[in-house]
Amino acid sequence: MYLFLLGLVVFYYLYRWVRELPRVPDKGSKYVYITGCDSGFGNLLARHLDKQGFRVIASCFTEKGEEDLKKSCSSNLITTHLDVRSKDSVAKVAAMIKDKVGECGLWAVVNNAGVSIPTAPCDWLTIDDYKLMLDVNLNGVIAVTLSVLPLIKKARGRVVNVASVFGRISATGGPYTVSKHGVEAFNDSLSVKMLWDRLPQEDKDDYGAEYVQKALAMISDKVPKACDGDLMKVVSCMEHAVSAVRPRTRYSPGWDAKLFWLPLSYMPTCVSDYIIKKQAIPIAKQIQ
């Protein structure tokens, strides 16, 4: 019986692997619009797709981001300034893309732009902290998608939205998990220190200095230590979502997501809260 079930699992993954192998033809005629290309996932994806021959339209928030990307890519790559919080900026870029792609339409939009600061317990934050992150991570995703949706339909293309496992379970609290949960439906140590410094003394006494030290230990270079730090695992999923003939509906990059975070999100709240509060999160590193 167990061998039969194991055979079914092996057959399923073998079938899925074969089914997902084919890639779309004529990459040189397909335009891909990527947001948040200054650094991180967006920057890596823009360079990766450019090497594969796609016509990449990479939006950056800073001039330096645009300049650095141009230096490392071919002349086919197009850079543009974009602030996803601004209606005018989103509309301006959408108009440029419409003029550029013509009757071909837009093959894909990758909503990668996002921020993770500030991240902290809810009572350390203000409503403005929430608005800032929601404007980028959620409203920005919606605004960019709607601005180019007619072009996506014309090309019979696809929309790739970058969410997070922390949209399913809140390990750190604050607006980031709220914004990423919103994306599912439609960290930086410096930020913790700054928020701690502005707290009233009674709140500091309530949490205690030990709490801050633990929080700082868990957050490094904007990537929780319990998470897989290999950016290319995420970029590979993005690339597959853009270039595969049969892309998946949802991707979960990394074994930490598959074997720790996702199972944890399905556990009873009392169990997941206990694991997180007891600082058992670093166990996830052992299964990567």
pLDDT in tens, the chain (288 residues): 677 787 887 888 788 888 878 888 888 889 999 999 998 888 999 999 999 999 999 999 999 999 999 988 998 999 999 999 999 999 999 999 999 998 889 999 999 988 877 777 777 788 888 888 888 888 898 899 999 999 998 998 989 888 776 656 666 666 766 676 566 665 333 455 556 666 777 767 776 766 666 665 555 444 444 555 567 777 878 788 888 888 777 777 766 666 676 676 666 766 666 666 554 444 334 434
**Per-residue model confidence as pLDDT tens digits over 147-193:** 999 999 899 898 988 877 665 666 666 676 667 656 666 533 345 55
Residue owning tokens 């093959």: 107
Spatial distance between the Cα atoms of 86 and 95, rounded to a whole number of angstroms: 14
What pLDDT is attached to residue 31?
95
Decide: 132 and 176 in contact? Cβ < 8 Å: no
All structural domains of the chain: 25-287 (3.40.50.720)
Spatial distance between the Cα atoms of 116 and 14, rounded to a whole number of angstroms: 36
pTM of the predicted model, to two decimals?
A: 0.71
Catalytic residue chosen out of the listed positions 176, 211, 266, 274: 176
Decide: 35 and 113 in contact? Cβ < 8 Å: yes
Distinct helix (H) and strand (E) counts, the chain: 14, 7
What pLDDT is attached to residue 106?
95
Closest to 214 (Cα-Cα) out of 121, 148, 113: 121
Say whether 176 is catalytic: yes
Spatial distance between the Cα atoms of 267 and 58, rounded to a whole number of angstroms: 39
Spatial distance between the Cα atoms of 268 and 121, rounded to a whole number of angstroms: 21
